[in-house]
Amino acid sequence: MANPYLTLGGIAAAGIAALFGFVLVPGWVADAQDAQAIGDLGRIKTAQSAAYDVNGTYYNTLAGLDTDGKWGLKVTLSKGVKLADLDAASTGWCGTVKSESGRFFGTSSKASRIVRGDTSGEVMGIVCAGAVALPAPSIPGVSASQSGTTVTGSISTAAVCARGTVRYRIQYRSSTTANGSWGDYTSWSTALKRDVTGAAQGTRYGFRAEAMCARGAQESGATPSMEASLVTPIAAPSPTITLDLDGTDLTATAAASCAPGTSARYGFRYRSTTTETAGSWSGWSALATDKTFTVSPPEWGARYGFEVRARCITAHGQSSVGTSAERTIIVPLAPPARPTVTATETGGVYTTTVSNTCAPGTTPEWSQRRDIRTTSTALAYGPWAGGQTATGPLGEGARLDVQGRIRCSTEFNTTAWSAAASANVIRDITTRPAITGLGRTLTNDKGTATATIAACPAGTTKRYEFHERTGSGSWTSRGWTDSTNPSVSRAGSLAVGQGVSWQGGFRAECYTAYRNGGNDGWKDTTAIVRAIAAPTPSLSLAMSGTNLRATMTGVTCAAGTTREVQYRTRNSRSTALGTWTGWSSVRTALTFDVANPNAGAKYGAEGRARCITPLANSPWGTTNAPTRVIALTAPKAPTAKATITGGTRYTTVSNSCVSGVSVRYQQRLLVRNANSAVNWGAWQASYRVEGGINQGYRVDMQGRVQCYTAHTQTGWSPTGAATATRPITTTPKLANAKSVISGSRGQGSVDLSGCPAGTTYRMQTHETLNGEGWTDYAWANSAAGRRYFDSKKTVNQGARWRMAFHARCITHWTNGPVTNVKHSSYAIRPITAVPSAYAIGTRNGGDIYANIGGSRSCPAGTTFRWRFNDRQGYGSWGAWSHSTSNTGSWYSGAGSKYARTVAYDSSGEVQVHYLCRSNYDNGTGKYSTDRTSVRPIPAPYSFSVSGSVNRICDNMGFNGRVKWTAASYANSYTLSLSWATTSGGRASKNVGSVSGFDRGISHVGPSAMSVRAQATMVARNGSGTRTVTQGLSQVMGCSRIN
């Protein structure tokens, strides 16, 4: 049966109102319809209370209240009353009904009165407060747009409210350099956009919104959107340009109007020309903040054109490029420097030239004026006339003066005339008047000279100079005389003595005020000389010491003259006397010697004499022709010579007679092969004797000569002597050289053969130990056959020894050639000693080292050597530290040698190979090994921790996940957490041992809104621990526990 209380109709409204303390509208129940609605609302409140008491929950539908059949919580609304809204949560409920009158009434689990309103939302916003919270809406979407100078942030995706009406507020920020700071939000409203007018160019505008749900006066929490942004475009500037010429700098200055907040960047280009055709543009300069561009120096007289391009920029954007119109300027021409003027003359034609001092690219214009004169009158220039170069005739001896100036122009302007420069040139007088027809006469003691002198060029004056002399004395000048007459005659003033010559001469030239033409030198007459009588001489011959002397007598010359004599001779050793020599050189001596006349010859002589002055000679007077025989000198001992070629001997006697004398020869010989007594053979009349001779034999010889002519002869000369020995050319043979070691001594042997009969074998031996240089022993006689020699040196273990041999064949007179050295092979004494050493292996951290211990004693002359290899654990052996073949490179002394780095938890082992060695032998090697201690594993290291947490709404804890990377050498991990509490402190808990590298975490209970969670991970192994503490990021918002 239904609960009669819950099924009361409208008539019980007054009682219900009294029961709950409802506040009714004035007039009590003036409107019965409203009373029915209020009664139905009371029944709903009673049913919700009963439902919560019975089931521990509230319902948001009338059907939900009717689910409990035992208590009968069903509510049936009165006629005309409608349920407007009903909301429930674990914290309470609230609801409204609509009366048939159109009014709305509402209450809640927390309300103590009935609230009336015109709308359900108005009433729900009052009664739901404190009873049922309003959920936040979904995330709204925001967009940004621009129209003209207005930027708008709009709600592009509406937020959705589970209950209530959605409202928005929008804020924005702007900046030209960064993102800017956020401004104020708009008021909460249903408006879906926010306009920002007067938007600046190149500015970034960012918009974001918050949405909330409202139910009357009740409001939910706010849900923020993501930011939407745009950058406003920048208008392209219209740059302008100004030009300025300052000294040698032509500067272009740019200007551009950019919007506030933007800045301008400029680039320039230019072109220039000195013609009507525009030049080519340069490349654009890079855009930069510098608004000036300078050409220094510009081309003078050129027209320059400049353009600038610009763009406006901010940190967020840039405009397109704007380009200015071309701006031009003409660079005025600087006045040219004073030019250089040159004046030259070639072949009677002058050339005057003015240099170009105009700047490149400009056109020069020249002007000259000139003056020509031959006298020293004042300058009188002619008028100025154009032209860089001028030519014209210039007479001999004339002077040309010239002035020149210049000005420069382009298509655009012309300079003033430069300062004038000057130059001059004088034409040389090249004409030299010829002097011809020279003549001279001598009257008594005076001379007269005549000549014909050619004319000078027009405008010049002719003059001549006359001089004279006697004999070879100095010339005496009679001065210069101007003349226009071609024929001249001048008498001399000097007295001319007998036998003395006289001469006269002329020279002539042309001249002006500026030049003397010069002359061709003196043109002199010949001399006139008096004759001299000849003498009558005679001649005699006699010996004077070793010379044959001719003496002349009867040579008498007149006073003032000097005698000259000459001699000639002839001689012969045969019957005929021979031909005369040429006359001797002229001399004054009356004796003439023939030095060292030919012995045995007959000489004849003749002389002649004359009287002379420096200018004249008398005829020759010739003498008689006497003769005389020259005695022969006894010859010296001749040179004897003995030579041997092959097996033949040759003996010769030289001619010791004077040249041209006949000679007779004799020689005697002795041939022997031993130093026996001398027993000469008979004299043989021959200058050359030949015969056979054996190797090693010697020939002795003596020779003499006799000299004779057709007129006389000498006796036999003393004897000359010579010897010659036939060399021994045969080289003996050395073969089968051998060296052996016996104990500590060496023995060498060799086969010897091949010397000719009659010669003696002779040998030299050498030995060397370890190649330290040869010890040479004295030569000694030997014999053919196998020869043996014992070492004189001690041979140690490991040493090498060898012998070498030389041999030759000899006689008493000579030694034959030495054989090439014959070496025996090396003999090496083996190394039999073995040292007593052992391996030492050590470890330092992860590095293992090899060393050698024990005795390293080796025999004298040998050295201790060792090498090593290694392995990790019991693996394969590594390569040896040194090669097997080159023991000399092995270690010689003790000392730790790095082997390798072993892994953790592993030992190493080294193996040592050692021996005694020399440069020639290696002794028997031995091996020794040694193992190191195990390398311990280190404590864990090198790992990281990360993760995030999600807060549970109402500050009731968090959940999340922690991740970590593997720590080196770790074998276990433990995890602990800490977080901020609502009281401002921190709480923690130990999660304990974890595995893998990812772990979910959670905590239910009070926690701060900003969790500030930290994870502490400890990695462990037997050697230690490694701890890493890492803050965990917090996800935005919160989650609810259902």
pLDDT in tens, 27-48: 444 468 898 999 899 889 888 8
User: Do 121 and 17 belong to one domain?
Assistant: yes
Who has greater pLDDT, 303 or 8? Answer: 303
pLDDT of residue 287: 92
Domain assignment of residue 392, yes or no: yes
Check whether 601 has a pLDDT greater than 90. Answer: no
Question: Cα(851)–Cα(891) distance, rounded to whole angstroms?
Answer: 10
CATH number of the domain bearing residue 675: 2.60.40
Cis before 339? omega within 30: no
Domain assignment of residue 225, yes or no: yes
Q: In the structure, what pLDDT confidence band is assigned to residue 278 with cuts at 50, 70 and 90? A: confident
Contact assessment for residue 649 and residue 691, using Cβ atoms and an 8 Å cutoff: yes
Helix H or strand E encompassing 840: strand 837-844
Who has greater pLDDT, 26 or 170? Answer: 170
Residue 484 vs residues 395, 433, 457: alpha-carbon distances, Å = 20, 12, 12
pLDDT of residue 70: 63
Question: Cα(777)–Cα(756) distance, rounded to whole angstroms?
Answer: 25
pLDDT of residue 6: 31
Q: In the structure, what pLDDT confidence band is assigned to residue 505 with cuts at 50, 70 and 90? A: very high
Domain assignment of residue 589, yes or no: yes
pLDDT of residue 1033: 92
Q: In the structure, what pLDDT confidence band is assigned to residue 666 with cuts at 50, 70 and 90? A: very high
Phi and psi angles of residue 121, each rounded to the nearest 5 degrees, phi first: -60, -40
**Residue that terminates a domain, selected from 668, 700, 725:** 725
What number is the average pLDDT over the span 17-32? 43
* Strands across the sheet containing 240-246: 240-246, 249-255, 292-295
User: Do 504 and 544 belong to one domain?
Assistant: no
Domain assignment of residue 829, yes or no: no
pLDDT in tens, 789-805: 999 999 999 999 999 99
User: Do 123 and 62 belong to one domain?
Assistant: yes
Check whether 631 has a pLDDT greater than 60. Answer: yes
User: Do 27 and 121 belong to one domain?
Assistant: yes
User: Do 543 and 520 belong to one domain?
Assistant: no
**Other Cβ atoms closer than 10 A to 982:** 12
Phi and psi angles of residue 918, each rounded to the nearest 5 degrees, phi first: -130, -175
Check whether 17 has a pLDDT greater than 50. Answer: no
Angle at 53 between CA 48 and CA 55, to 5 degrees: 85
User: Do 965 and 923 belong to one domain?
Assistant: no
What number is the average pLDDT over the span 849-862? 93
Total domains in the chain come to 10
Q: Residue 305: helix, strand or coil by DSSP?
A: strand
Phi and psi angles of residue 50, each rounded to the nearest 5 degrees, phi first: -65, -40
Q: In the structure, what pLDDT confidence band is assigned to residue 20 with cuts at 50, 70 and 90? A: very low
pLDDT in tens, 673-712: 788 788 888 999 999 999 999 888 899 999 999 998 888 8
Check whether 11 has a pLDDT greater than 60. Answer: no
**How much is the pTM?**
0.36
3-state SS record for 908-947? EEEEEEEEEECCCCECCCEEEEEECCCCCCCCCECCCEEE
pLDDT of residue 560: 72
**Residue that terminates a domain, selected from 696, 725, 754:** 725
User: Do 711 and 613 belong to one domain?
Assistant: no
Q: In the structure, what pLDDT confidence band is assigned to residue 13 with cuts at 50, 70 and 90? A: very low
Which residues span the domain enclosing 954?
A: 945-1039
DSSP labels for 345-409?
EETTEEEEEE---SPTTSEEEEEEEEEEESSSPPP-----EE-SEEEEE--TT-EEEEEEEEEEE
Domain assignment of residue 530, yes or no: no
**Residue that terminates a domain, selected from 676, 705, 725:** 725
What number is the average pLDDT over the span 945-974? 90
pLDDT in tens, 78-111: 889 999 999 898 889 999 999 999 999 999 988 8
Give the single-character DSSP code of 815: B
Check whether 10 has a pLDDT greater than 50. Answer: no
Domain assignment of residue 580, yes or no: yes
Contact assessment for residue 824 and residue 768, using Cβ atoms and an 8 Å cutoff: no
Check whether 551 has a pLDDT greater than 90. Answer: yes
Domain assignment of residue 646, yes or no: yes
Q: In the structure, what pLDDT confidence band is assigned to residue 7 with cuts at 50, 70 and 90? A: very low
User: Do 815 and 851 belong to one domain?
Assistant: no
pLDDT in tens, 733-782: 999 999 999 888 999 999 999 999 888 999 999 999 988 899 999 999 99
pLDDT in tens, 361-375: 788 999 999 999 888
pLDDT of residue 497: 67
The residues near 174 (Cβ < 8 Å, ≥ 6 apart) are 180, 196, 200, 203, 204, 205, 206
Q: In the structure, what pLDDT confidence band is assigned to residue 315 with cuts at 50, 70 and 90? A: confident
Contact assessment for residue 865 and residue 914, using Cβ atoms and an 8 Å cutoff: yes
pLDDT of residue 840: 95
pLDDT in tens, 418-453: 899 999 999 999 999 999 999 999 887 889 999 999
Give the mean pLDDT of the chain.
Answer: 89
pLDDT of residue 27: 41
Domain assignment of residue 287, yes or no: yes
DSSP labels for 130-151?
TTSPPPP-PPPEEEEEEETTEE
Handedness of CA 180, 181, 184, 190 (dihedral sign): positive
Q: In the structure, what pLDDT confidence band is assigned to residue 69 with cuts at 50, 70 and 90? A: low
Q: Of all residues in the chain, what percent carry a pLDDT higher than 90?
A: 59
340, 351, 311: which is closest to 201 by C-alpha?
A: 311
Contact assessment for residue 623 and residue 590, using Cβ atoms and an 8 Å cutoff: no
User: Do 924 and 963 belong to one domain?
Assistant: no
User: Do 983 and 967 belong to one domain?
Assistant: yes
User: Do 316 and 357 belong to one domain?
Assistant: no
pLDDT in tens, 352-364: 999 988 888 788 9
Task: Tell me the pairing of strands 945-952 and 1033-1039.
Answer: parallel
User: Do 518 and 451 belong to one domain?
Assistant: yes
CATH number of the domain bearing residue 596: 2.60.40.10
